[in-house]
Structure 1
C-alpha cells in the first residue's frame, strides 16, 4: 500500500460528491440506520482525528483518537449528519485535504512511530485511512461499488478482517480471478465468486455477484 492509493481515494470521493444536493444527502446510505450525511460526516471526522494522530506522532506524542472516546465519536456523527449538503461536502474536502497534507509530512523513518488508533503506528494508520476511504465511498451508494476495489486492497482487507472468522471454521475463499485465500481451522467452508464480491461479503457489505458455498455467520469487525 502506498500513499498514492490514499490520495487517489480522496480524489475519487470528493469528485463523487461534487454537486451533492440536500435530498441526496438526506437519503439512506448502504449502512443500516445511516443517511449519506452520516457517512460523509463520519469520514470527515475520522480524517480530522487521523490528522491529529499523524501530527502528534511526528512530535513524539500519542493522543486519543477522539476526545471523549467512542461516545463522543458517535455523538459527533449524529450532530453533523443533518447539515446542508454544501456544508457536508465542504467539511469533507477540507478534512481530507488536511489529512493528505499530514501524511505527506511523514518521512521514511517515521512510519513506526506509535499512535493511539488501534494501539498501532503510522504505517497501520495509513492502511486504516485507505480502508475507511475505500469502504465508505462504496457505502455512500452513489454508483461506486466494491468492483472498484483493486486486488491489493481486497487482499489487505481480507487479512485485516481475519478475526471475523468464527472459531472452529476453516474459511476458504476461492476467487474466480485471484489465488485462493484461507483462514481458521475446523469445519471447512469453501466460497467461490469474484474476489471483490467475496471481500465485500467478508467486510459485511452486499456482494453484487452470487457467491457459491455455505456462508457462516461472521464475528464483528476487529
Structure 2
C-alpha cells in the first residue's frame, strides 16, 4: 500500500542526517558514559559504536566487491563479527568517535552509485537485498542504535516518509519467518504489511516509526493499539 514512500536520494540524505545526529550525541560522552550499559544485553555504548563502525566498513567492502564483480558478505563469520566488536569496544573514546565519523563518511560517499542497482547482495546469512537498499539497511542500523544508546532520540524524530520506508523494509526483510507470530501492521501514514507465520493475525496500528521500534526491538509505545485494545 504505497503512500509517503521515500525516494532513493531522500534515504541517502537521511543516512547522512541521522548519522550526524548520532555523532552529536556521542561527542559529548565521557569515558564513563561510553562504558554505560545499553538496551542490548551485554553491550555498552562502546560496543554499539564499535558495531556501527564495523558495519559501515563492512558495507563499504560489500559495495566495492560489487564494483569489482566479486560479491562478498559483510562479515566472514558470526564469530569474527563478535570478536571485532569486542576489540573495537576497547578503543579509547576519542578514537572510537573518530572511527564512527570516518567510517560513516567513507560509506556515505559510495551510496550515490547504488541508485537503480537491483543486483542482489547478501549482507549476511539469510539477509539478502537489492544493492540499492544498502543505504536503507544502514539507516535502520543508525536509527535503532541511536535509540539503543539511551539518548533523547526517538522514532518521533523520523519524518513520515522515512518512517514508512523503514517499516516497509523490515516487513519485507522479516517476511513469513516462523519465529514471528502472524501480524498485520497498519501505520497511521497509510502503509500496511503482514509478517510472521501463517494464522489469524494480530492487528497492530500506530505511527510507522513506533511500529518499526516495536517490530525490531520490542519497544512498547502508548501510541500502538492491538486488536481488541481500546481505540483499535
Give the structure-1-normalised TM-score: 0.81
1:197 is displaced (CA, Å) by 2.1
Residues 43, 108 of structure 1: alpha-carbon distance in 2 compared, 3 angstrom cutoff: closer
Select 2:24's aligned residue among 15, 25, 41: 15
Count residues in correspondence: 211
Alignment of 1:128-167 (within 5 A): 128-162=137-171, 163=174
**Separation of aligned partners in 2, 1:116 and 1:172:** 27
Unaligned runs of 5+ in 2: 1-7
Residue 41 of structure 1 and its aligned partner are, at CA, apart by: 0.3
| Distance in 2 of aligned mates of 1:166 and 1:60 | 31
Which residue number corresponds to residue 118 of structure 2? Answer: 112
Change (3 A) 1:9 1:32: same
Check if 1:69 corresponds to 2:73. Answer: no
Q: Is the 8 A contact 1:193 1:211 kept in 2?
A: yes
Residue aligning to 2:87: 79
Change (3 A) 1:195 1:124: closer
Q: CA deviation at 1:9?
A: 2.0
Coordinate RMSD, CA, aligned: 2.6
Structure 2 length-normalised TM: 0.78
| Residues 108 and 196 (structure 1), Cα distance of their counterparts in 2 relative to 1, 3 Å cut | closer
Q: Structure 1: give runs of 5+ residues left out of the alignment.
A: 216-222
Q: Please state if 1:123 is matched with 2:132.
A: yes
Structure number with greater CO (CA < 8 Å, separation at least 6) is: 2
